[in-house]
Structure 1
Amino acid sequence: MRQVKVLLIDDDEDDYILTKGVFDQISSSYELSWVNSYEKGIGSILKKQFDVYLVDYRLGKGTGIDLLNEAINSGCEQPIIILTGKGDLAIDEQAMNIGAADYLIKDEIEPSSLDRSIRYSIKEASVTKALKDSERKYRAIFEQAKDPILVSDYFGKIYDINSAGLKFLGYERSEILQLNTSAIFKNAEDGEKFRELMERSGSLSDFECELISGRVEACYCSLSSFIQTDMVNVKEVYHTIIHDLSYRKNIEERSVSLGKMSISEHIAKGLGEEIRDPLSTINLALDELAAEPAIVYNETVQSCLEIIKSNCDRVNQLMQNFISSTETKTLNLQRHNILTVIEEAISDVEDLIVGHNIKLTTQFHQSEQKVLLDKPKIKNALISVINNAVESMQSYPKMIHITSTADRGMYEIGVEDNGVGVDPKNQEKIFEPFFTTKKRAGGLGLTHAQRVLTTHNGSIKLKRLAQGSLFLIRIPIYHEGTLWF
């Protein structure tokens, strides 16, 4: 059996002789060494040459507490037992709070008590080291995990979050530790249901919900969680892994949009054919009527015929616009600086903005990175959204704020107005062809914008504000070497 190496750090040689006598009475399982100064003692501790250290409280240059504090701060994992000439409760508590394994009074040391103290100290140090090693492994896995991980309790108090979680939710660590989980659930009902399921079964998988980030964005997620006892706080906590389903959700939404677009295109073309033939017949008949000798000089009849013909032409033009808005056209994709596209779109509607006495402000993310897109189509889509914002404002002051940011491989353009906003019951209809609540509006601008962005693998969404609306346009950032499918 290997001998336990013990180092006595004491500047009094008589104390060493007395201590050696006590060890001689214990057993041969201990090997006692001695150094007589603070410096030699801390040097031996830093070199990790011994299994346990007996440190006298008085060491000349400093105290045993000073040495203990320095050793602990230097990462010493071996047990340190403090020795004093007489009992002092304050020193005892101070030593134990810093990390001493035990506190012994020299005059009361007996072979059996010293042996027990050393054995227990070594055992406790071994357990503590194992726990620390486990904690380090857990912390490494926790911090390096690609998925966000959140540690909270039944009441929503947040105890910890990994780096991926901070990045995903867009918070600083100090900020999120001050929050309650109720602040990150978009719907309070989801938070209640999550807690109910956790308390009922102790774990759950694939709980789908929406979380709110620090950027006030809704993220569609799947939560997998289990309950574990936190030994530090002595309570049960939820360890929750957050899976970002935004990409899957976008794919699903895009698939639905493409399906609707395909149906709309089919209906539009069929309807166009059905309407075009009757309109041609009506126009032909009108031309025949207008040439009749009996009415050729009748101004009233000729005026009525012109009105009919004009409205027929208008119906035909509306039909052409409808078909055009539903057609999936080939994209001429080239790399462009998105800021240039935005600025050109704003320039094209500048007269309209000035004419309506609108205050336009911008805040752009400056970047030289280019985006793969069909410039004329994206520019027209932006113009349609800006026009929609202009038409939505009825009272002064009229304001439009346009922003651009880059995040998670996407460029996001925001067009915000302080107009009348969108009625909640109409929110799902605003991208449908011919749907409009505005006078003298065709109802195809947003339909066209959605189609263009969908074919670019992007999206356009409406966010209702307390006053006005915010349209969020997202376009993928494509890096060199990325293929377009």
Structure 2
Amino acid sequence: MKQVRVLLIDDDEDDYILTKGIFNHISERYTLAWVDNYDKGISAINKKQFDVYLVDYRLGKGTGIDLLEEAINSGCEQPIIMLTGKGDITIDEQAMNIGAADYLVKDEIEPPLLDRSIRYSIKQAGILKALKDSERKYRAIFEQANDPILVSDCLGTIHDINSSGLKFFGYERSEFINLKDAAIFNNAMERERFKEMLEANGSLSDFECELVSEDGTVYYCSLSSFIQMDLVNVSEVYHTIIRDLSYRRHIEEKSVSLGKMYISEHIAKGLGEEIRDPLSTINLALDELSAESAIANNESVQAYLEIIKGNCDRVTQLIQNFISSTETKNLNLQRHQMKEVIEESVADLEDLILGHNIELTTTLLHLDKKVLLDKPKIKEALKSIIKNAVEAMQSYPKKIHITCRVNDDMYEIGVEDNGIGVDPPNQHKIFEPFFTTKKRANGLGLTHAQRVLTTHNGSLELKSIPEGSLFLIHIPIYHEGALWF
């Protein structure tokens, strides 16, 4: 039989003798030791030499409550039973709130009661230790996990988040805990659908949605969550693991974009060949017809022939532009400063900007790093985007603002205008060939710009803003080995 080591901490020797007498009537599995002051008691507790501690409320230097509190704060995991000369509900509640295993009145202690109190205290301490060990393991996993982990509830209250989550969303802990979880969902309907599905099933795997960080960055994420009962607060909480799928989505979108580019190029070349042959025949027939002696001096007929030829030439040029906008050409890559490329592009469009009375401003930050690019092609792409902004503005004042900054290993260039913007139903169509909502526009400028940036392993995207449009261009600072030709 394993011996249970009990230490009595009491400054009264008579109480020790009485307590020893009680233990003589209990099982022989207990061994009792005694110390007579506060300091010896704390020393023994810190050395973890005993399995149970009986602590008198009055200890001279301090009270048993003081000793109990110091022991708990020092990490004592063994049960401590408080003893008093007479019952006091205030001391009882205070002791239990701090962490006492039990509270006994000396005059009421009988051998069976003391035996039962010690056995229950040891059992309870074992359960608490197992819970603490489990909590420590969970906390270690929680804090060291690479993926963000969020603890919230059905009301949207945020109870906890790990370090990876704080880094992901860009908040300080004190700021984040005071938020509602709706603040991190980019779409309120997605948040409601997540909640409904989780409540209906009790758990949820790979729920895909958009989450937003403190600085407004939107991430495409997968949420895996389950509901657990919080025994302390007696409420249900959501444990949610967040995985960032933005890179995967970027790869998928890039793959789709490349696929569209190959298809567009194939269609453009085939269509171009089909149209060029009849156009050549028409032009040849027009030349022969205009040389006929019967109509050579007929000014009216010659004028009509010139109109037909002009329109044929226009169709030929349109087809050539279409083919050029879809062609994949080798890049002549050289190192250039991004500021120089932007300024030259703006200078090339100076007449257009002045002619439309547009106020164009720039904010070009951190542009000391050179980037590997095909300068003429990037300039054409930039000019196409700026022209698109010019065409989008119909009323004064007309403003365009160009920004450039380094974001990780990318140059991020923004072209923002205060024009009419793009209607939501049309936002996913604007990079398609020939799609346009503007008069006298062929709908190829943005298509060509996107293709140029894709061949540089970059990207072009439209961002929603309250007024006007914002096009964001991303160009790698250095990705020589990853470039696509």
TM over 0.5: yes
Task: Show the counterpart of 1:19.
Answer: 19
Task: Show the counterpart of 2:465.
Answer: 465
Task: Show the counterpart of 2:445.
Answer: 445
The amino acid of 2:316's aligned partner reads N
Aligned CA distance change for structure 1 residues 48 and 257 (closer, same or farther; 3 Å): same
The amino acid of 2:220's aligned partner reads Y
How do residues 218-297 of structure 1 correspond to structure 2 at under 5 angstroms? 218-283=218-283
Task: Show the counterpart of 1:424.
Answer: 424
The amino acid of 1:213's aligned partner reads S
Q: Matched residues in 2 for 1:26 and 1:463: separation?
A: 79
Aligned CA distance change for structure 1 residues 309 and 202 (closer, same or farther; 3 Å): same
| 1:93 Cα offset (Å) | 1.4
| 1:126 Cα offset (Å) | 0.6
Per-residue CA shift, 1:104-161, capped at 9, x if unaligned? 2233333322222222111111100100111111122222223333333333333233
Structure 2 residue runs of 5 or longer lacking an equivalent are none
How many corresponding residue pairs? 484
Task: Show the counterpart of 1:414.
Answer: 414
How do residues 43-58 of structure 1 correspond to structure 2 at under 5 angstroms? 43-58=43-58
Per-residue CA shift, 1:144-185, capped at 9, x if unaligned? 223333333333333233333333344433334333344444
| Stretch moving more, 273-282 or 300-309 | 300-309
How do residues 36-185 of structure 1 correspond to structure 2 at under 5 angstroms? 36-185=36-185
Per-residue CA shift, 1:407-464, capped at 9, x if unaligned? 6876544333222111223223211223333345443221112112333443322223
The 3-state SS of whatever aligns with 1:26 is coil
Aligned CA distance change for structure 1 residues 356 and 77 (closer, same or farther; 3 Å): farther
Q: Matched residues in 1 for 2:88 and 2:359: separation?
A: 75
Q: Matched residues in 1 for 2:339 and 2:59: separation?
A: 70
Q: Matched residues in 1 for 2:61 and 2:94: separation?
A: 19
Aligned-residue sequence identity (percent) comes to: 75
Per-residue CA shift, 1:332-386, capped at 9, x if unaligned? 4566666675566566657765665555566667487776654543444334323
Aligned CA distance change for structure 1 residues 405 and 99 (closer, same or farther; 3 Å): farther
| Stretch moving more, 459-468 or 182-191 | 182-191
Q: Matched residues in 2 for 1:244 and 1:449: separation?
A: 28
Q: Matched residues in 2 for 1:429 and 1:8: separation?
A: 82
Q: Is the 8 A contact 2:53 2:81 kept in 1?
A: yes
Aligned CA distance change for structure 1 residues 44 and 194 (closer, same or farther; 3 Å): same
Q: Does 2:385 match 1:385?
A: yes
Q: Is the 8 A contact 2:456 2:483 kept in 1?
A: no
Q: Matched residues in 1 for 2:53 and 2:122: separation?
A: 10
The amino acid of 2:156's aligned partner reads G
Q: Is the 8 A contact 2:84 2:105 kept in 1?
A: yes
Task: Show the counterpart of 1:5.
Answer: 5
| 1:4 Cα offset (Å) | 1.7
| 1:305 Cα offset (Å) | 6.0
Aligned CA distance change for structure 1 residues 483 and 298 (closer, same or farther; 3 Å): closer
The amino acid of 1:141's aligned partner reads I
| 1:265 Cα offset (Å) | 0.9
Aligned CA distance change for structure 1 residues 370 and 151 (closer, same or farther; 3 Å): farther
Give the alignment's TM-score, normalised by structure 1: 0.85
Q: Matched residues in 2 for 1:39 and 1:353: separation?
A: 85
The 3-state SS of whatever aligns with 2:25 is helix
Q: Matched residues in 2 for 1:58 and 1:351: separation?
A: 94
| Stretch moving more, 456-465 or 67-76 | 456-465
Task: Show the counterpart of 2:210.
Answer: 210
The amino acid of 2:192's aligned partner reads E
Give the alignment's TM-score, normalised by structure 2: 0.85
Structure 1 residue runs of 5 or longer lacking an equivalent are none
Aligned CA distance change for structure 1 residues 107 and 395 (closer, same or farther; 3 Å): same
| Stretch moving more, 207-216 or 337-346 | 337-346
Q: Matched residues in 1 for 2:93 and 2:479: separation?
A: 61
